[in-house]
Amino acid sequence: MRVSRLYVAMPLVLQQTIELDDDNAHYLRSVLRLKKGQPITLFNGTGGEYQGQAVEVSRKRVLIELLSFTDRSVESGLQVILGLGVSRGDRMDFSVQKSVELGVSHIAPLQTERCVVQLKAEKGQNKVRHWQKIAQHATEQSGRTIRPEVGDVQMLDAWANQQAGLRLFLDPFATQTLTQLQPKDNRVTLLAGPEGGFSGQERELAKLAGFIPVQLGPRVLRTETATLAALTAVQLLWGDLGVVDAE
């Protein structure tokens, strides 16, 4: 039987019984249909995971007893920061979800000139919370024990000037490829544009901030395809994709 995994934003201590918050309790009770006595795996993003058992599942509360701890990690040795131009609806959701599955460390939603979606104030915060929840579920599904952070929406220029390591931006007009480069200190920062791509001014801004334009082949890729292709490529070249655990 497959045991479900759940991220909880609270301290976890072996042999203790914890009460889940309302959102997680509702999810286990109404979505997963967890019953008393059934197993559940919990993690809080600090490393490792706890094997637990439901001791109460009621409308009033859900209690989980933490029975054992496993110190495990499937995190890549390559730290990947992703600056992602905000795209419409499902495209952005898809990119966030699959980026987490591919081992990204941090996602920064970026407002750019050609973003179809313009996020301001409360609407922007609601969207960020939505993407954070997508990242959480992708972390649970993929077996990761560290939940990647999805930051607040930022302007491209402010974000670009704060980055370090090997900085790359996806540019169909570039002539350089990933195989011609090497990351510094096992860190890569990827910059991917929205549906309309980057403007000429933004491309120059990125270069001035130290980003190297790279292309992923002769075809022009949609934003969500380019993001996942780039993440796959850097994990194959410098990360852990394709690496088999010897244990």
Q: What is the DSSP string of 48-94?
A: SEEEEEEEEE-SS-EEEEEEEEE------SSEEEEEEE---HHHHHH
Count helices and strands (H / E) in the chain.
6, 12
**168 pLDDT band (50/70/90 cuts)?**
very high
State which residues form the domain around 47. Answer: 5-70
Give pLDDT tens digits for 12-43: 999 999 999 999 999 999 999 999 999 999 99
Tell me the whole-structure pTM to 2 decimals: 0.90
Residue 12 lies in a domain: yes
Residue 214 lies in a domain: yes
Mark whether 40 and 89 lie in a shared domain. Answer: no
pLDDT at 153 over 60: yes
Give pLDDT tens digits for 81-108: 999 999 887 899 999 999 999 999 999 9
**247 pLDDT band (50/70/90 cuts)?**
very low
Residue 246 lies in a domain: no
* Partners of 167 in beta bridges: 189
CA–CA separation, 172 vs 227, rounded Å?
Answer: 12
- Domain of 58, CATH number, reads 2.40.240.20
Give pLDDT tens digits for 223-240: 899 999 999 999 999 999
Give pLDDT tens digits for 55-82: 999 999 999 999 999 999 999 999 999 9
Domain tally, the chain:
2
Residue 245 lies in a domain: no
Mark whether 115 and 167 lie in a shared domain. Answer: yes
Mark whether 56 and 102 lie in a shared domain. Answer: no
Note the maximum CA span of the chain: 61
CA–CA separation, 74 vs 243, rounded Å?
Answer: 11
